[in-house]
Amino acid sequence: MNTNRHLSKTVGGLLSATLLAVMPLAATADGQAPFAVEKGWAPPVGDEPHGFFLFDRLEYAAGDDEDSVNVEFKGWYGGDYNRVWVEGEAEDVVSGGSGGAIENLDLLYGRLISPYWSVQAGVGYQLEYGPGPDPDRGYAVLGLQGLAHYWFEVDTNLRLSEDGDAWADFEAEYDFLLTQKLVLQPRFGTMVAFDEVEEFGVGEGINNVKLGLRLRYEIKREFAPYIGVSWNKKLGDTADMAEDEGEDTGDFRVLAGVRMWF
Amino acid sequence: MDQYETLTGKGHSRRRFLRNVTSMSVLAALYGYGGVSPALAWPQVGNHEAERLEDGDTDVFNLVIDRTPMKIDGKPANPITVNGTVPGPAIRMREGRNVRIRIQNNLDEWTSIHWHGILLPFQMDGVPGVTFEGIPPKDTFEYYYPLKQAGTYWYHSHSGLQEQLGHYGPLIVEPAEPEPFNYDRDYAIVLSDWTFEDPHDVFRNLKVAEGYYNYQKRTVEDLLEDIQKKGWSQTMRERAMWGEMRMSSRDLLDVTGSTYTYLINGRSPNDNWTGLFKPGEKIRLRVINASAMSFFDVSVPGLKMTVVQVDGQNVEPVPVDEFRVGVAETYDVIVEPTDQQAYTVFAEAMDRSGFAAGTLATEVGLTAEIPEPRPIASRGMEAMGMDMSDMDMSDMDMGGMDMGNGDTEMGGQSGGMDMGGQSAGMQGDQGMTGQSSHAGMAMDHGDAKGGMDMAMDKSGGKAPWPLADREISHGPNDHGPGAAMVARSPGNRLSDPGIGLESTPEHKVLVYDDLKALAPWPDPREPEREIELHLTGNMERYMWSFDGEKFSEVDGPIQFHHGERLRLILVNDTMMDHPIHLHGMWMELENQHGDLRPRKHTISVKPGEMVSARITADAPGHWAFHCHLLYHMKAGMFRVVSVA
């Protein structure tokens, strides 16, 4: 009870502090105002902030034992150099069990450091719920996000929890154009923990490998239904911990969903 | 100067109000309310001209800017109109006289008119934020200036994204002296790109979703075709090269036929604008590219076109079959149909995603065949600004260089290329053979077929290229995050017709090196000073800039000293063609013709190209200098030039 209150306070505090620090930066978009030929005249061209919100995955995932609804989103607001990001990933078991997880919910400040790369820093929150205890934790994030050579979309983060536990994740995806509107997207994800955290079932070392393959049809750029498969394999200590709990270490799912943005 | 201030001051509001009431009622009778003509684009036949009033040594025009619901390509639209039409009416001014243009802004927003290519006092140039504050909503403004030049020009809004909404029209200045060519009739051919989307949505789509409008990206099918044609290793090398750069070889135009309806004089191909002629007549076509984002390749299949003016300036006549018109450029050509048949005036978007078409015919209602659309071309390594002179091309499939047949991708790689600050580390195992090593020389596509002359010293009697030995320097971090690439060895592409075009003896395509002035220009001085500017961009975030700095990031103007003679050097460090426009002063393009440089207001710079122009800084004041692709300008590819 006490811990929980302490937790939410910490996370809440961190979140608001970051927001306050980051918002003015993003609002001015790219810093200084253009020089004016004559005082009081609006500049001939100027920067204005933009916003973007993407559901990268919004899907129903049918597995051998349980089905879940998964969501992964990212949104940003700001200029070309400075942006505020919200990123999140969550799943909710809808059949064959109960519970779910907010794997991460991040509020980040991002800064463009090279043509294709942004560094991101901020805070985040993780929660598991369902049968048994509902552990949660807040953490600080330092990330690198961008477009690697050969058009690999890459997002990688280093996280440090309020209890001092550290872990890193890496995700890459690639768009393979079968036609102008039919896109095959393989994706790869992995997580490495530097500390064991039993309540989240996290072992030290490489935790897992996640593979996905999604075939989407872009009815519009903004709206693309897809079908696909995913395979999540737990590894090392993490796998052992799962086996001790009587869980499978491999999880194969068939997916149907939609990718959309606003 | 006082004169202009008085004329544009707010002192005469009542008189102006009365005047405007008068002109408005005349207009109301002419357009729409009087039932004479429904709100449409232009009439199907001929040109639509503004009424010219005379007041002593001054010609007077009344223009009303408004939103006018109408049909474009048969679909309801609500464009910004000048005197009720899109394009606005052709304005015929006269060299040697003054002109007074009274603007009534009926919009709910600020507006402006810029007289593109006209040399005038800077207060009359019509660029909000640079030369005046703009024309407030529901208010008036009076332009007044003397005309000291003749030729084909155009006018357009310089406010926000209004140009995309139809706010443009042709401007013709009749010469005081007879022109060095004859014609029996002339037509303005205003090319434009219309979208039913809100231009701000278009801009946002470009900003948040790279490649939003490109439906001609490379697919798996293209990959398989390439492997079949060029073999596995060649294809993989090429893919790797583009992948290394995270660039698309198919990124020719940012906004495409997927949203654009391409228009001639406000009319889609279905609405078939028609210019009438009698067989045997010489027809002067004044081709104006008033589009926001589209380069066009223009031809009149079945007829040779003789180019006689470019950007309103006379050039030595060049007969061609096709020419590319960059955004904001103008080309005057003369055609001589001798038969009683109809001819298509065809303007295909550079990326082949669509076309504008109209007809030249002896009577209304006729049409001619519309050419088969050509496949999209892919950019080759010349677009990256690589030095290809020390490479060996022996194992290269020369068929791949045939730009006219579409799919061209050069497989060469160069260690000198640097993308996004990371050295690509490539190997120069391909390129051109049999050419002398010539630093910074660009590859000449047509040469493979013997169809074009090279921008090299071998062409006897041609003036040497002033930039031939120029070393291009980039700073330690190149141009920062705003520039995704730099051209390490930008070259001379003045004799390159451009992506997707090939000039052959059977099908001559105009190149900048063909343009030759009729006589030397008044200022014979050599340049005292050089200004080098790099065209830079980052497609991922749709940032466009000069030297990596968007307009919002610079803290002052580019300074020209009054009276000096300058060489402006433009280096294109991007994968796009950019039409660069300088207001208020001519740019004398330094091509192979020595002192007979063609004079331009807008110079299209190809990817990987380096180009130079002489400028006489004889126009004091503040002037806009920018890329004329509307959304590039909006994104920051804009500077102020201050002459003092």
Q: Do B217 and A31 touch (CB under 8 A)?
A: no
Distance from CA of B234 to the nearest CA of A (A): 17
* Range scoring the smallest mean pLDDT among B67-81, B468-482, B583-597: B468-482
Of B127, B208, B243, which has the smallest distance from its Cβ to A50's Cβ?
A: B208
ipTM given for this complex: 0.90
- Amino acid (one-letter) located at A61: A
Q: Do B552 and A147 touch (CB under 8 A)?
A: no
Helix (H/G/I), strand (E/B), else coil: A212? strand
Task: Compare all CA atoms of chain A with the CA of B630 and give the residue at the minimum distance.
Answer: A45
Distance from CA of A153 to the nearest CA of B (A): 11
Beta pairing, strands B305-310 & B313-320: antiparallel
Q: For residue B458, what are the CA distances in angstroms to A138, B446, B516, B523, B635?
A: 71, 16, 19, 29, 42
Q: Do A31 and B555 touch (CB under 8 A)?
A: no
Q: Which residues of A89-119 are buried (b: 16+ CB within 10 A; e: fewer)?
A: bbbebeeeeeebbbbbbbbbbbebebbbbbb
Q: Percent of chain A scored above 90 by pLDDT?
A: 77
**What's residue A21's pLDDT?**
56
pLDDT surpassing 60 at residue A23: no
Question: Checking phi first, is residue A18 left (phi over 0); if not, alpha (psi -120 to 50) or beta?
Answer: alpha
Does B219 touch chain A if contact means CB atoms closer than 8 Å?
yes
Distance from CA of B494 to the nearest CA of A (A): 29
Distance from CA of A184 to the nearest CA of B (A): 10
Residue B644: CB atoms within 10 Å: 11
How is residue A84 written in tokens?
Answer: 């505020």
Contact B527, B612 (CB under 8 A): no
Helix (H/G/I), strand (E/B), else coil: A128? strand
Task: Compare all CA atoms of chain B with the CA of A113 and give the residue at the minimum distance.
Answer: B481
Question: HSE (CB half, 13 Å, CA atoms) of A67?
Answer: 9
What mean pLDDT do residues A103-131 have?
A: 95
Does B217 touch chain A if contact means CB atoms closer than 8 Å?
yes
Give A-chain residues touching B125 at CB under 8 angstroms: none
Distance from CA of A248 to the nearest CA of B (A): 37
pLDDT surpassing 50 at residue B388: no
Cα dihedral sign, B417-B419-B422-B427 = negative
Of B541, B626, B634, which has the smallest distance from its Cβ to A112's Cβ?
A: B541
Does A7 touch chain B if contact means CB atoms closer than 8 Å?
no
Q: Do B129 and A36 touch (CB under 8 A)?
A: yes
How is residue A259 written in tokens?
Answer: 């990718």
CA distance B10 to B487: 50
CA distance B231 to B542: 34
Q: Which is nearest to B268 in space by CA: B383, B159, B357?
A: B357
CA distance A67 to A86: 26
| pLDDT tens digits, A154-163 | 999 999 999 9
Contact B267, B273 (CB under 8 A): yes
**What's residue A138's pLDDT?**
96
φ and ψ at residue B166, rounded to 5 degrees = 110, 0
Higher pLDDT among residues A104 and B24, named by residue = A104
Give A-chain residues touching B643 at CB under 8 angstroms: none
* The model's pTM: 0.87
Question: Which residue intervals of chain A are DSSP H helices?
Answer: 2-27, 236-244
**What's residue A116's pLDDT?**
93
Give A-chain residues touching B552 at CB under 8 angstroms: 29-34, 43, 45-47
Give A-chain residues touching B555 at CB under 8 angstroms: 32, 35
Distance from CA of A81 to the nearest CA of B (A): 8
CA angle, corner B466, sides to B465 and B468, nearest 5? 65
Q: Do B482 and A115 touch (CB under 8 A)?
A: yes
Q: Do B127 and A44 touch (CB under 8 A)?
A: yes
Q: Do A177 and B220 touch (CB under 8 A)?
A: yes
Does A150 touch chain B if contact means CB atoms closer than 8 Å?
yes
Give A-chain residues touching B207 at CB under 8 angstroms: 50
| pLDDT tens digits, A224-251 | 999 999 999 999 999 999 999 888 899 9
Cα dihedral sign, B226-B231-B232-B237 = negative
Residue A164: CB atoms within 10 Å: 7
Q: For residue B224, what are the CA distances in angstroms to A255, B277, B377, B432, B591?
A: 29, 49, 17, 26, 41
CA distance B332 to B311: 8
Does B644 touch chain A if contact means CB atoms closer than 8 Å?
no
Distance from CA of A202 to the nearest CA of B (A): 36
Give A-chain residues touching B544 at CB under 8 angstroms: none
Distance from CA of A33 to the nearest CA of B (A): 6
Of B240, B422, B551, which has the smallest distance from its Cβ to A34's Cβ?
A: B551
Distance from CA of B23 to the nearest CA of A (A): 30
Does B55 touch chain A if contact means CB atoms closer than 8 Å?
no
CA distance A105 to A83: 17
Q: Do A80 and B217 touch (CB under 8 A)?
A: no
* Range scoring the smallest mean pLDDT among B27-31, B53-57, B560-564, B599-603: B27-31
Q: How confident is the model at residue B25 (pLDDT cuts 50, 70, 90)?
A: very low
* Count of helix runs (H) and strand runs (E) in chain A: 2, 13
How is residue B88 written in tokens?
Answer: 């606005």
**What's residue B477's pLDDT?**
64
Q: How confident is the model at residue B417 (pLDDT cuts 50, 70, 90)?
A: very low
Contact B389, B437 (CB under 8 A): yes
Q: Do A149 and B244 touch (CB under 8 A)?
A: yes
Task: Compare all CA atoms of chain A with the CA of B207 and give the residue at the minimum distance.
Answer: A50
Across chain A, mean pLDDT equals: 89
φ and ψ at residue A33, rounded to 5 degrees = -80, 150
Give B-chain residues touching A44 at CB under 8 angstroms: 127-130, 158, 551, 624, 638, 640
φ and ψ at residue B369, rounded to 5 degrees = -65, 140
Of B130, B131, B540, which has the smallest distance from its Cβ to A115's Cβ?
A: B540
Give B-chain residues touching A147 at CB under 8 angstroms: 246, 540
pLDDT surpassing 90 at residue B293: yes
Q: How confident is the model at residue B341 (pLDDT cuts 50, 70, 90)?
A: very high
CA distance B313 to B378: 33
Does A32 touch chain B if contact means CB atoms closer than 8 Å?
yes
Does A153 touch chain B if contact means CB atoms closer than 8 Å?
no
| pLDDT tens digits, B428-453 | 333 333 333 333 333 333 333 333 33
What mean pLDDT do residues B112-141 have?
A: 97
Residues 552-581 (B) with a CB less than 8 A from some CB of A: 552-557
Q: Do B552 and A114 touch (CB under 8 A)?
A: no
Q: CA dihedral in degrees (B525, B527, B529, B534; nearest 10)?
A: 150
Contact B144, B124 (CB under 8 A): yes
Distance from CA of A60 to the nearest CA of B (A): 26
Q: Do A176 and B218 touch (CB under 8 A)?
A: no
CA distance A214 to A176: 10
| pLDDT tens digits, B47-87 | 999 999 999 999 999 999 999 999 999 999 999 999 999 99
Contact B202, B634 (CB under 8 A): no
Contact B87, B170 (CB under 8 A): yes
Give B-chain residues touching A35 at CB under 8 angstroms: 554-557
Residues 112-141 (B) with a CB less than 8 A from some CB of A: 127-131, 133-134
First to last CA, chain B: 15
Q: Across-strand partners of A64?
A: none
Task: Compare all CA atoms of chain A with the CA of B243 and give the residue at the minimum distance.
Answer: A150
Residue A160: CB atoms within 10 Å: 16
**What's residue B443's pLDDT?**
36
Q: CA dihedral in degrees (B128, B133, B134, B140; nearest 10)?
A: -160
Task: Compare all CA atoms of chain B with the CA of A151 and give the residue at the minimum distance.
Answer: B246
Contact A83, A107 (CB under 8 A): no
**What's residue B415's pLDDT?**
30
Element (H, E) at B187: strand B185-195
